[in-house]
Chains A and B, each alone.
Chain A
Amino acid sequence: MKYIDEYRDAEAVRRFARAIAQITTREWTIMEICGGQTHAIVKYGVDELLPEQIHLMHGPGCPVCVTPIELIDKAIEIAGRPEVIFTSFGDMLRVPGSHSDLLAAKSRGGDVRMVYSPMDALKLAQANPDKQVVFFAVGFETTAPANAMAVYQAAQQHVDNFSILVSHVLVPPAIEAILGSPDNQVQGFLAAGHVCAVVGYEDYYPLAAKYHVPFVVTGFEPLDIMQGVYMTVCQLESGRADVENQYARCVRRWGNRPAQQLVLEMFEVVPRKWRGLGEIPQSGLGLRAAYAAFDAERRFDLQGCTAEESSDCVSGEVLQGKRKPFECPAFGTLCTPEHPLGATMVSSEGACAAYYRYRRAQVAHV
């Protein structure tokens, strides 16, 4: 397939692997931020081709994994109401809340539907004026513009039976939280290409300077990741801490300005809870007061609900890159994709699920 196969070319990938091996003189720990990158690394076995001194740590960039448990509980509560059509991206449906998940809510009679875009949910609202249509607006900066557009259009067209349950999170505050942690091990970052396509990479310059770590904006194909690692190791070996862009075919330094403006108009920066990480200040987006009418938490009066997460698994440490999934005693035994103890085992982008699906055999030998 054009523009895909070129980035999965085995020989080109191996050339980069050899180049990385040539310049590597010591151990380096590099974190890929995005769950999509984690998925590609494990699916294609990119890390198997890297020299042993290069350690890839998997970051908190899986929107499914970091959506807090109380938001899932709220989604299930809303989805159970008879007047509601609850819409969501597919992989949120299986994420467990305190006692249940959205698929179970559906099996109990809730009208839960998978959609591919918030705009589809808006259309559903227009087609069902006697129903309340709610979209589960999760994700990082990448999905924010489409969600902003859905609310913008709902407001313009007076689609009053549409609302969104917002759990938007932002990448730079999570990176700062990781870098500011006293036992941080991460020495360089592969920044998430799709997030940067929207917001650009200006935010990383102060982080690179403050913590003296390199950032390389990186794509999602095996060759992208190899090149991203190569560029990061080049910086690390020469003692630089710059911001570089490997994913230049999609990402501009300033990002997508119209998308940013739309997001800014609809959303404001707020503190957010991250599943497995806890609350991080100024780390998420919430609807502005002017659009509060489209906030499902207000509409269904669920603002006060909270839920406590148990501490049976180490997904928080996995999300911070402090542990590999197979270093968890529950991995693959008590905790499997059918019986997830943690969100990182639920999402196909989650580090634990990726390791379970693709690495069980090697793990068994560890």
Chain B
Amino acid sequence: MSDFALSCPVPITSTATVQMAHGSGGTIMHRLLDSIFLPAFNNPILAAQHDGATLNVKGTQLAFTTDSFVVRPLFFPGGDIGTLAVNGTVNDLAMCGARPLYLSVGFILEEGLPLETLQRVVESMRRAADTAHVQIVTGDTKVVDQGKGDGLYINTAGIGVIEHNLTVAPRSVRPGDIVILSGDIGRHGMAVMAVREGLEFESQIESDCVPLAAPVLALLDEGVRIHCLRDLTRGGLASALVEIAQAAQVRIHIDEKAVPVNEDVRGACEILGLDPLYVANEGRFVLFIPPYELEQTLLILGDQARQIGVVSEGDDGLVTLKSAIGATRILDMLSGEQLPRIC
């Protein structure tokens, strides 16, 4: 065997059909936004590409956002599709620095869904809305044939009011800013995966699904000069940081050791060959603040929050990570979904 054939596959440069990766929050999804949605709906508000749109309506600053929920299973430890649907939209508004006020809800129900299931989900939504101090004020219901939906899909949209003069957006991030993470990562993704795949661990992993408006409003009420906020959803901490670094045209440096990951979540990730930095969350956010706000921010957010990194000059939008053994590498966005490795 001395003669190797140097051979390689033909590239697949585009797909003619929608794939699951188009909804993953990774680079393939971003390319879909850039190639189809953004050119078609082209306007400066959309172009800001924040978690929600910031609107000036007759002198009042409003935040407006929407989100759809297609989670399977519908119920999981720490929450269900109803709590996700309320908190997801509440959190997108909070990340605009807004006080969430009103939500709409659209249900797409699959024929055959037990009404008892729907009742449970709706009750969860009511409780979540009460907790987040928002009202669900309008809605819509559609039913599709059996087999055309996973029981129940929910869309929510929301409006909030912005009561300060800060521009909370990636473009406000400056070199020298400090990166704060509000708590441990990876719970939601692993909680859902454990149920979906029938994995059992020593103790049950619960989703981190919570509304984030209260801590954000507490910071704003105390006058903390927040530069940017981003909640961690699909794609995890890594994707959120890359999005901000690229939008703000800065470099972000993260210390892996400073990023808290619960032991059970770490264990589950080790077994499945997943990186917690890319696992989904539903109740955690990063914020970018000037260094002089560090002490007060940590005081308000409590002992779960911690500094995980800093921002530096560099318009290439790279995120770097100092690994557990002290070497430095790039932290990149994934192409599509994080796929477990073979061995």
Contact = CB atoms under 8 A, between A and B. Distances in A.
A311 B318 CA distance: 32
B19 A309 contact: no
A220 to B, nearest CB: 10
Contacts of A94: 335-336, 339
Nearest to A176: B1
A317 B332 contact: no
Contacts of B328: 45, 48
A116 B340 CA distance: 8
B11 interface: yes
Contacts of A173: 1
A24 interface: no
Contact of B31 (A92, A316, A338): A338
Given A103-B20, A114-B340, A8 B324 contact: yes
Nearest to A356: B332
A181 B4 contact: yes
Contacts of A347: 341
Contact of A311 (B7, B266, B270, B330): B7
A249 to B, nearest CB: 16
Interface string B1-35: 11111111111110101111100000110010000
B341 A358 contact: no
A361 B21 CA distance: 26
B267 interface: yes
B45 to A, nearest CB: 28
B197 interface: yes
A90 B341 contact: yes
A107 B6 contact: no
Contacts of B19: 103-104, 106-107
B323 interface: yes
Given A36-B341, A91-B341, A103-B19, A357 B330 contact: yes
Nearest to B6: A316
A337 to B, nearest CB: 5
Given A10-B326, A91-B341, A143-B343, A342 B4 contact: no
A317 B6 CA distance: 7
A309 B272 contact: no
Interface stretch (A148-156, A277-285, A292-300): A277-285
A100 B10 CA distance: 9
A64 B273 CA distance: 15
A348 B11 contact: no
A347 B339 CA distance: 10
Nearest to B336: A94
Interface string A83-127: 000000111111011111101101110000010100000000000
A309 B9 contact: yes
A361 B318 contact: yes
Given A63-B342, A181-B4, A310-B8, A1 B267 contact: yes
B242 to A, nearest CB: 11
B325 interface: yes
A264 interface: no
A78 interface: no
Contacts of B6: 276, 311, 314-317
B329 interface: yes
Nearest to B261: A1
B40 interface: no
Nearest to A103: B19
B335 to A, nearest CB: 5
B342 A49 contact: no
B267 to A, nearest CB: 6
A138 interface: yes
Nearest to A194: B343
A302 B172 CA distance: 58
B9 A310 contact: yes
Contacts of A72: 9
A104 B17 contact: yes
Given A10-B326, A104-B15, 17 more contacts: A4-B270, A13-B326, A46-B325, A63-B343, A91-B339, A96-B12, A114-B340, A140-B343, A180-B2, A181-B1, A278-B4, A309-B7, A316-B4, A342-B8, A343-B8, A359-B329, A360-B332
17 contacts: A8-B324, A44-B329, A45-B326, A45-B327, A49-B327, A94-B339, A96-B12, A98-B9, A106-B19, A140-B343, A142-B343, A181-B4, A278-B4, A316-B8, A343-B9, A348-B339, A358-B332
